[in-house]
Structure 1
Amino acid sequence: MTDSTIVNANSTPTYVVGVDYGTLSGRALVVRVSDGAEVGTAVHPYAHAVIEKTLPGGDEPLPPDWALQHPGDWVDVLRTAVPAAVADAGIDAADVIGIATDFTACTVLPTTADGTPLSALHPDRPHAWPKLWKHHAAQPQADRINALAHERGEPWINRYGGKISSEWEFAKGLQVLEEDPETYAATDRWIEAADWIIWQLTGQETRNRCTAGYKGIYQDGHWPDRAYLEALNPGFGDFVAKLEHPLSALGDRAGSLTAEAAGWTGLPEGIAVAVGNVDAHVTAPAAQAIAPGQMVAIMGTSTCHVMNGERLAEVPGMCGVVDGGIVAGLHGYEAGQSGVGDIFGWFVDTQLPPDYHEAAAAAGVDPHEYLSGLAAQQAVGAHGLIALDWHNGNRSVLVDHELSGVLVGTTLATRPEDIYRALVEATAFGTRTIIDAFETSGIPVDELVVAGGLLKNRFLMQVYADIANRPLSVIGSEQGPALGSAIHAAVAAGAYPDVPAASAAMGRVERAVYRPDPARAKAYEALYAEYRTLHDYFGRGGNDVLHRLRRIRNEARR
């Protein structure tokens, strides 16, 4: 690409579309290539949301810890949100030069050789449906994957902090084999939704380096070998064949928009379609946080922590480290928390008394804002509580999705705002635990950059700054993943030579918006010590009661 390409993009407005596939909806964002200005957006809620009780059209209850999705909902985002975003922008669709998408991960589905989802062919079989990232029913398979890897000394296991998550591709695939071998046998391709949606846009299968590395155990040019897989289960030896495909770098052009996809989206046929990517990883360039030492926390229903490092290190409990997993030339690290906004939502939806809902309505605010206002009036530690943020299991650093939430210190004087504050603090302690794991492993974290829907809560952000004892920068966009996808679309279309160049021109961030208060940060050290005591006691084998309670619950529900 020559410098004139960028000059032309600057002189004649051209645009790209970023599509962010979340847990409950998909968002399309139209972005001007020259400066990253966001000119139009639209959201399409998934008609089937998260499928966790019964299959569509069925009445047989799904087992505990299942979470599925409907691939038709993803295509509907292209049909509705993309043209609506272009209309909202008030631009000529002919001026759009590229489109890119990002997805939750590991959200994975079985398909035929031509990409047809097995759920379309066998809608009555639960294992034929896409498994959402928070499908945690494969924990027994994950436990065996980890135990055998350590027993055999598999070289890749420490690239994932010593544990493969039940959320990742191999655990979910092994669960299909062992619980529904007919569906497993019918699975020609086991593919991340991030890559499947690109298949629908371009008409050709591609696989991206990000999900292959973080979710698919692809390291140093190799998948786990056949002997290891057959030791897990003799029928699992062919699993890699369902995954294997040449990998593409992030920002590469996956192909061109087909006539059919152009009809869905209203965009010009033949424009560039970028290689698929993960919602958290595309956000780092959007927040101009791709230098070593900058950790990005994408905070929503869950939180994903990503950062680049110049050196390869083994961080206990991390989700993975991948060469070029965020940008080329650096080692991309990932960690995360399986529940954050979901925990606050659970409390408000199921535990908050009616009079608090009424008071929030009378004040003209939502319950979260109301509780945050009450909680912000408290001194650190005044509620006398400590919570563990494991309501949806623990992704990092324990990598155990059979753990559950804990709350200690309640009395008859405990009020809802006390518990709400303790839950907010618990999630911040969880992030602090992740930061400590990185720094102990020789990967410094100098700055915490926050993106996602939760950054609107100023009380929560200040708690995070105080507990992390670091300045918090915030992304200068409410649509970080979609903006990040748009940045990758611009690179795929040839408007910029690489992702860092596009990030510098199109990304945005506000530095050090929240600074730690020294007195509060010092007070939180005592509470953090108590959190770590409970964290290790309940999470590292001091008392296995949480696992026993889960087994009792599961037996009672059968």
Structure 2
Amino acid sequence: MVTRCTIGVDIGTSSSKGVLVDEDGRVLASSTVAHTVDRPRTGWVEMDGELWWTEFVRLTAQLLTAAAAEAPEVVGVGVSGMGPCVLLADEDGRPVRPAILYGVDTRAATQVDRMTAEIGEAEIVRVGGSRLSSQAAAPKIRWVADEEPDTYSRARRLFMPASWLAHRLTGAYVLDHQSASQTSPLYDVDAGCWHDGLWQRYAAGIEQPELRWAGEVAGEVTAAAAAETGIPVGTPVIAGTIDAWTEAVSVGAHGDGDLMLMYGTTMFLIATGSRTLRTPSMWTTVGAFAGTRNLAGGLATSGALTDWIKDLTASDYTSLVAEAERSGIGARGLVMLPYFSGERTPILDPDARGVVAGLTLGHARGDLYRAALEATAFGVRHNVETMRAAGADIRRIVAVGGGTQARLWLQIVSDVTDLVQEVPSVTIGASYGAAFLAAGATSAIPRIDRWNPVDVVIRPDPAARAAYDALYALYLELYPATRDIAHALAARERDRALTPQETS
């Protein structure tokens, strides 16, 4: 007896993940392939787009092999990926250069400033919903045109990881509305379509992708793709969307009043409502589904920061967590700024840098680790307070992502923010959400609360609130107090990185 199922694959910053899920939401198989990004210069973060397809093929083979005893019949494919990214390709869909990643890549600061001056900030916000920052895709398209004109002259198509996988599977050239809304100011968030005038001005020569919603079918698996993946010819493939939004789908956190916290390499927050909210320091986008609007934000480092401390101290997470618990609230007198890759929201400062204040010879690695966990929690609180000030009605918080396995981290975030967090039973994240969207596109729409019910509720400890309020106030003071020094150091590093070989 065969088991009808869907495949979900997500291309992330540090790994690609795949799941095979049956019609009841049961995970038949899961697999992960680790990878690294390329950082050829300070502020540059890239990946080879062909790697995304190679890993998709590898994951699919692993999933189908692992679940062979279930006799899986794949009836739909869901795709997802980090973003917004800029993968430019020629008319045949071949990449003309490595993909430029989302807000962690800060190379296009000059283009951000120039486009803002040319268009005007008010008009950019009116059309695209948000000010331009390192998160926006359009300035990165312009960077390629300005800095690599020969490469840009061969570019005809724009992809992101999900749309790239959909293209390789089906031949379709589509982009979902949510991802499109992060190409600001090329997409009109209120009209729900491309802005032709700004597209021709800043993405001339590139064909506009056809727009779809995340769960809509982009096309069907071709014979060539079937031969590579083992997925049957004609299987529907959804358009997919950016991983954070797919993660929200995976836990049902896309309703009016919901806030999703994604614990991953970076931290991402998505507040959902029915109204378009605009505020200078957050990202206004359309939602994964028609009729929804989002106010979103993100920390440039979270899991990446804890990984860095683990590697730097040659330790392991079990030891670090135990030592951080013993360190206690305030990490024995430390306050950290988690801006080790610049910062996205709400300060929108690619030249921000990490700071550890209060260090003494008496501090140990567990104190540093505790300070890092608290720093990301302070960053979450800063974002939540900014969202609420803009009018976001946040009534339900759902945590998702690999970091939810770290219960100390979850507790610290709840204590710092005074928020109750729901943790679902399945925290695989975006790949699971992609499989759910594929199931909805190919049969009767399932209910995510049946697929993935709440498993754990994290409640804030009232006894911790006063101490964390005081530490949060110091956190807010630390950035403006060190900003000028951080900017000067960032400028020195850029100058040092421009070697004669790079500038020739």
Instruction: Give TM-score scaled by structure 1 length.
Output: 0.84
1:149/1:157 contact within 8 Å kept: no
Tell me what 1:212 maps to: 180
Structure 1 residues 457 and 252, CA gap change in structure 2 (3 angstroms): same
Residue segments in structure 1 that go unaligned for 5+ positions in a row: 1-10, 53-61, 119-127, 230-235, 358-366
1:225 deviates by 6.0
The match for 1:321 is 285
Q: Does 1:503 align with 2:448?
A: yes
* Residue pair 1:146, 1:157 contacting (<8 A) in 2 also: no
What is the correspondence of 1:479-490 to structure 2 with a 5 Å cutoff?
479-490=428-439
Deviation at 1:92, TM superposition (A): 6.1
Q: Please point out which of 237, 243, 246 is paired with 2:210.
A: 246
- Alignment counterpart, residue 144 of structure 2, candidates 176, 181, 204: 176
- Contact 1:139–1:402 (CA under 8 A) maintained in structure 2: no
- Shift in CA distance, 472/175, structure 1 to aligned 2, threshold 3 Å: same
- Give the superposition deviation at 1:91: 5.0
| Residue in structure 1 matched with residue 485 of structure 2 by the alignment | 545
Q: In structure 1, what is the Cα distance between the partners aligned to 2:65 and 2:10? A: 18
Task: Compare 487-496 and 97-106 and name the one that shifted more.
Answer: 487-496
CA contact (8 A) 2:3 2:71 kept: no
- What amino acid is aligned across from residue 18 of structure 2 in structure 1? A
Deviations 1:120-161 (A, max 9, x none): xxxxxxxx221123322222222333344445644536722x
How big is each residue's C-alpha offset from its partner over 1:299-355, in whole Å with a ceiling of 9 and x where there is no partner?
A: 111011113113222133212221xx22222212321111101111112222x2x6x
Match of 1:523 among 459, 467, 471: 467
Give 2:307's aligned residue.
345
**Residue 68 (str. 1) matches residue 57 (str. 2):** no
- Secondary structure, counterpart of 1:327 in structure 2: coil
CA 1:492–1:93 in 2, change beyond 3 Å: closer, same or farther? farther
- Alpha-carbon contact 2:4-2:75 (below 8 Å) kept: yes
User: Is 1:137 aligned with 2:92?
Assistant: no
**Matching residue's letter, 2:494:** N
Equivalent position amino acid for 2:305 in 1? I
- Give the whole-Å Cα distance in 2 for the aligned partners of 1:340 and 1:184: 33
Distance in 2 (CA, whole Å) between partners of 1:31 and 1:347 is 35
Partner Cα separation in structure 2 for residue 244 and residue 329 of structure 1: 22
Name which of 24, 27, 38 aligns with 1:51: 38
- What residue number does 1:57 align with? none
Equivalent residue number for residue 501 of structure 2: none
Say if 1:547 and 1:148 are closer, same or farther in 2 by CA, change over 3 A. Answer: farther
CA distance in 2, matches of 1:320, 1:243: 24
Tell me the residue number matched to 1:262. Answer: 226
Which of 312, 317, 320 is the aligned partner of 1:368?
317
Partner secondary structure for residue 79 of structure 2:
strand
Percentage identity across paired residues of the two chains: 28
Q: CA deviation at 1:549?
A: 0.9
Separation in structure 2 between the aligned mates of residue 268 and residue 505 of structure 1, nearest angstrom: 28
Q: Where does 1:111-130 land on structure 2 (aligned, <5 Å)?
A: 111-118=89-96, 128-130=97-99
C-alpha distance in 2 between matches for 1:15 and 1:289: 23
| Aligned residue number for residue 29 of structure 1 | 19
Match of 1:298 in 2: 262
Q: What CA distance in whole angstroms lies between the structure 2 residues aligned with 1:69 and 1:382?
A: 36
Shift of 1:486: 0.4
SS of 2:105's partner is coil
Distance 2:435 2:475 in 1: 39
Q: Work out the CA distance in 2 between the residues paired with 1:248 and 1:421.
A: 43
One-letter code of the match for 1:190? L
- The answer to whether the 8 A contact 2:264-2:403 is kept is yes
The SS at the match of 1:27 is strand
Q: Is the 8 A contact 1:284 1:290 kept in 2?
A: yes
Q: Distance in 2 between matches of 1:279 and 1:99?
A: 15
Q: Unaligned stretches of 5+ in structure 2?
A: 499-504
Q: Distance in 2 between matches of 1:249 and 1:441?
A: 26
Query: What secondary structure sits across from 1:242 in the alignment?
Result: coil
Q: How does 1:391-402 map to 2 (within 5 A)?
A: 391-402=340-351
CA distance in 1, matches of 2:455, 2:119: 43
Confirm or deny: 8 A CA contact 1:157 1:164 kept in the other structure. no
Q: How does 1:103-114 map onto structure 2 within 5 Å?
A: 103-114=81-92
Q: Distance in 1 between matches of 2:298 and 2:122?
A: 27
1:85 and 2:55 matched: no
The question of whether the paired residues in 2 share the 8 Å contact of 1:209 and 1:250 is answered with yes
Match of 2:502? none
Helix, strand or coil: the match of 1:113? Answer: coil
Please say if residues 286 and 508 of structure 1, whose CA atoms lie closer than 8 Å, have aligned partners that are also in contact: no
CA RMSD of aligned residues (A): 2.2
One of 378, 389, 393 as aligned partner of 2:327: 378
In the other structure, the counterpart of 2:422 is: 473
Counterpart for residue 125 of structure 1: none
Candidates 238, 242, 257, aligned match of 1:274: 238
Mapped pair 1:187 → 2:155: yes
Please tell me whether the aligned partners of residues 128 and 184 of structure 2 are also in contact (alpha carbons under 8 angstroms): no
Q: Does 1:308 align with 2:253?
A: no
SS in 1 for 2:80: strand
TM-score (norm 2): 0.92
Q: Do the aligned partners of 1:141 and 1:166 also contact (CA within 8 Å) in 2?
A: no
